[in-house]
Amino acid sequence: MSDSPRDSWKLSLPCTRAEAEALEGDIAAFALLDSPPVLMTSEASSDDGDAWQLDAYFEGRPNAALVRLVQTLVPSARGRKPVLEKLPQADWVTMSQQGLEPVTAGRFFVRNSNADAVPSGYKDFLIGAGLAFGTGQHETTAGCLAMLDRTRRLGHRFGNIADIGTGTGLLAFAALHLWPRAYGTASDIDPVSVEVTADNADKNGVPLGIAPGRLALFTAAGVDHPGIVTRGPYDLVIANILAGPLIELAPSLSGVLEEGGTLILAGLLDTQAARVLAAYRAQGLRLADRIDNGAWPTLRLRKRPAIGWHRPRRWPHGRNGEAPGYGSW
């Protein structure tokens, strides 16, 4: 019987403690992969503090090139034969994320367990380990949370917000916390992510619906859904995806953004930022702010306002994200 595309596989390699510590967070080598593996490291021996093991979990059997890519992450294992095994049917992504440390970004505290104590003064989100990307552990998600918090502290106001490629819904929840009177829209190409977002919304007290202060959910590739288009234009769009899709989506993301509106982009490497920025500058946007979280930058862009009486508007004057005193064209 042939393997199912959803079968789970594990690749194991020995590594050193230093190599294991270097693998914390997002891995630059996986940035262009559609379905990157989940990495876990653990001590291989209680008697040897430098003897560690790398386990890489895959959805589907990895090909030889992907195995070699993982091997490059642990040079000390050069010449050692990797152990590749098919796993029993199980939610290995959830298992791999159990026990992740909480993340603090801006005013937000993101945890995946009720056992984690919430510090005072932070907005708490419980995002359980699961099938969807975006738990808050990833540098890209944490960078977006920090950028949203900074944008609010600078005095920006938004009335219509969209989170494209929402994953777990975390960024949409954070944006609605910062701007509670706004209309909220969240979408993902993966229907599982949309289901996860709905479940997380219930756990975190985020109301769903089409009214102000509520979050409307859509399953769509990018903004390719009539519900997403008709709810626009948006004065804040968030897209934490990957560099390739961000470049491809530049015309459509810019198209649903209100003139003068704000676009927050993440999921790209610092070496890819110039190409991503070039794609959006061609659509009339300019870089307004940047946060670098390791090798993963978060970009805040602004769309150049049109000049003239015929400029289309949905929101009242002053509600398009402009922060008086912080510059404009």
Ligand-binding site membership of 270 (annotated): no
Neighbouring C-alpha atoms within 13 Å toward the C-beta of 63: 4
Structure tokens at 175: 């944006």
Query: What is the 8-class DSSP label of residue 75?
Result: G
Neighbouring C-alpha atoms within 13 Å toward the C-beta of 280: 29
Ligand-binding site membership of 188 (annotated): yes
Of 228, 234, 210, which is closest to residue 321 (Cα–Cα)? 234
Which residues, listed in sequence order, are joined to residue 237 by a DSSP beta bridge? 162, 263
Helices (H), 131-190: 139-153, 170-178
Is residue 233 reached through a cis peptide bond, with omega within 30 degrees of 0 on the bond before it?
yes
Q: Give the strand order in the sheet containing 257-266.
A: 215-219, 183-188, 160-164, 234-240, 257-266, 296-303, 285-293
The strand pair at 160-164 and 8-16 is best described as unpaired
Structure tokens at 281: 């500058």
Ligand-binding site membership of 141 (annotated): yes
Of 187, 277, 276, which is closest to residue 226 (Cα–Cα)? 187
Which residues, listed in sequence order, are joined to residue 105 by a DSSP beta bridge? 108
SS3 of 280, please?
helix
As a whole number of Å, the CA-based R_g of the chain is 21
- Inter-CA distances, 131 with 59, 128, 181, 245, Å: 11, 10, 30, 20
Ligand-binding site membership of 185 (annotated): no
Q: Give the strand order in the sheet containing 103-105.
A: 103-105, 108-111, 123-126
Known binding residues for S-adenosyl-L-methionine: 141, 165, 188, 240
Known binding residues: 141, 165, 188, 240
